[in-house]
Amino acid sequence: MKRIAFAAFAAATGLAVLPPAIAAQTEDQTSVSNPAPTTPPQAEKRDHSYTRHGITIEDPYHWLKDQSYPKIDDQDVLDHLKAENAWFEARMAPRRALVDTLFEELKGRVKEDDSTVPQKDGDWVYWSEFEEGKEYRKHYRRPAAGGEAELILDQNELAKGKDYFRLGALSVSDNGRYLAYSSDDNGSERFTARIKDLETGELLDDVIPETLSGLTWLAGDTMIAYGKANEKWRVDNVRLHRIGTDIAEDIEIYREEDEGFRVGSGLSAQEDWLVIATGDNETGEVRLVRADNPTGEQILVKQRRKGVEYSVDIRVGTIFVHTNDNHVNFRLARASLDAPGDWETVITGSDDFYLTGFSLFKDFYVTEGRLDGLDQIQLRSYDDPADMAPIAFPEASYSAGLSNNPEYTVDKLRLAYESMVTPDSVYDYHVGSEELELLKQQEIPSGYDASKYKTERLTVTARDGTRIPVSVVMLKDRPMGGPLHLYAYGAYGYAVPPGFSSARLSLVDRGMAYAIAHIRGGDDLGREWYLQGKLNERTNTFNDFVDVAKSLVDKGYTAKGKISASGGSAGGELMGVVVNTDPDLWGAVVSHVPFVDVLNTMQDESLPLTPGEWPEWGNPIESKQAFAYILSYSPYDQVAPQDYPPMLVTAGLNDPRVTYWEPAKWVAKLREVKTDDNELLLKTNMGAGHGGKSGRFASLYETAEEYAFILWQLGLAR
């Protein structure tokens, strides 16, 4: 539930998009009754101020936050957002041919009749498919012993007549008869869960609204564990629904009293325990209860201690614990169920190896982590912790990790692999022979020749002497000094992987280099890398990004003013800061659903995420120091009378993570005080949330708009 980059956690969203020709006709028809605006909208200024810690803040665009939120019905607010959308359409209209060209390029790289690699889970083999021209997946299974394919869920049918659709949880009962799934049809991330009888094809009467969690089958497939979102969009509970009963009879088996903590649950590796986890961005606590008796006595593994994170799994009565209690890069420990809090070290924490997680299987376990910033997958013996076999990969820079491995007893592991020049690849790793078997590699129907491109891993020196990694991909024959796109996120310990993007080729093939700055705030180089970019060290993140850009200029990769930059959510905050501090570096900036009204949001306890975010950003309500520090960089508060680069900003009206008024207020203030005539566009999706439009082609069209804006501003449009 963090403000993370959308591509990192929501790849399967969907919304139908009009074909470009039809879209153009619709715009033309609209323009007859509503002539295109010739000047950008200017939001009205209304007096509003507040004082905290002796500091008074003027906020004349406060009114753009609808005071009846989460209901949004203030006509002045809606009219302003529509006016901004009209200005976006008017300015982009001459670029529609370029948008359409880019859209066809992006779409041409998508295999329309694609499918996932089937994977066995118990008595069945499961996979999903896209059909040509369809926005959403169909989910299938067939008997593992052999037999016909069976369609178990068609997202296209569920999405019919909806402007937005997103599938949430998807869970088949252990006996294979029932399918529990949840969906969101407006982008607010309040999911409704339903249960389908796979023998009859009928939906049961059971309907569970307002869920925001997985759906876990328990007690011999008679119950489902889930988390219900409260009125503040926070999951503070685990509830049990007995199939065939009224949801009013559902049983709450855990409730979290700390408003900053969130709760989740799932099954252990052998599926004999329900693991109930609660925590915030820096502290965790876990309870265990038997999966066959979920209303029974719970075992508290260890009482929470501020700053200590831990997660657990269980094998044959032994609890395995992944924790940072005595080393910032985590250790792996174990304990007995009789003494769950007495942790004995299995793998010692290391300054060099960052242990990010583990997975238990019957005959071995797997540890995952990063060494020098590169992903590691290691097979280990239960009997000898020193007996470790790392899986070797062929490239010097890549992204790799365990994929879908639902069974406990395995002799091969499903892996995911990619690099900046190697498309998404699915492997099986055969444990006995230590061989990698390529099962599938992302197909680019319009063609892709990896030999045309080169990738580099650079390090640049930040202003405080820290060495920052940078991943770059470009055409082999690209001249130095040309245009370059720089991307980063830099928050919550999320490491942006040096992975593949077929969409990115539309920039690279036009002579741009594409660079990812692995800045502090992510955990690319270990947990300390993350800690150096949060709370009172937050400005390291922004400085790193600027210093990477300047270094790429100094190294001859590009030139000042030829750099486009983008980021979303907390990465959008990054964009907001760097256009305030170093506006002349950037030739174009795209800021998606940007977290830019940081000071106000961190003081608004009514918002869903705020209490849980204080460990990340600081609590300006209680701390004068936190108030002053956040004020010093908060993009909205630091807008100044100066020239700004061309900017495209996006928002989602139903976004519960970064509320729509943050980008709206920011753009309004920029319009008021900036001293240049550069483009400033705001596009608000009026029926979507944090991830923008849904559907694989609809989202591609928005990417085409983003790329068209960048190419237009850098003088590369053609």
Instruction: Give the Cα separation of 97 and 699 in Å (integer).
Output: 18
Q: With contact defined as beta carbons under 8 Å apart, do 329 and 347 qualify?
A: no
Alpha helices in 235-350, H assignment, sequence order = none
Q: Token pair 């910033």 is at which residue?
A: 373
Helix (H, G, I), strand (E, B) or coil at 76: helix
Tokens representing 348? 């010692």
What is the DSSP secondary-structure string of 461-508? E-TTS-EEEEEEEEETTPPTT--EEEE----TT--------STTHHHH
Which amino acid does the sequence have at 227?
G
Can you say whether the dihedral through the CA atoms of 183, 188, 189, 192 is positive or negative? Answer: negative
Cα–Cα distance measured from residue 242 to residue 253, given in angstroms and rounded to the nearest whole number:
13
Q: What is the DSSP string of 385-417?
A: TT-EEEPP-SSSS-EEEE-----SS-SEEEEEE
Specify the 3-state DSSP secondary structure of 174: coil
| From 569, 591, 634, 699, the catalytic residue | 569
- What does the alpha-carbon distance between residue 523 and residue 493 come to, in Å, rounded to a whole number? 4
CA distances to 43, 576, 649, 650 from 667, rounded to whole Å, are: 9, 10, 8, 10
Q: State how beta strands 331-336 and 318-323 pair.
A: antiparallel
The end-to-end CA distance of the chain, in Å, is 40
Told to judge if 655 belongs to the known catalytic residues of this protein, a careful annotator would answer: yes
Neighbours of 160 (CB within 10 A): 11
Residue 691 CB partners (closer than 8 Å, separation 6+): 6, 10, 13, 166, 187, 652, 699
Helix (H, G, I), strand (E, B) or coil at 165: strand
Q: Is 425 a catalytic residue?
A: no
How many angstroms from the chain centroid is the CA of residue 58? Answer: 33
Indicate which residue of 171, 213, 690, 699 is catalytic.
690
Among 673, 654, 601, 661, which Cα is nearest to 630's? 601
The residue type of 362 is K
Residue 344, judged by CB atoms within 10 A of its CB (0-12, 13-18, 19+), counts as exposed
Spell out the residues 6+ positions from residue 31 whose beta carbon is closer than 8 angstroms to its own: none
Looking at beta carbons, which pairs linking 404-410 to residues 24 or more positions away fall under 8 Å?
404/119, 405/359, 405/361, 406/119, 406/120, 406/121, 407/120, 407/121, 407/122, 408/269, 408/270, 408/271, 408/360, 408/361, 408/362, 409/361, 409/362, 409/363, 410/361, 410/362
CB contact at 8 A, 573 and 598 = yes
What CA–CA distance (Å, rounded) separates 677 from 674? 8
Strand pairing class (647-652; 586-592): parallel
Cα–Cα dist 332/315, whole Å? 14
How is residue 636 written in tokens? 């909205």
Catalytic residues: 569, 655, 690
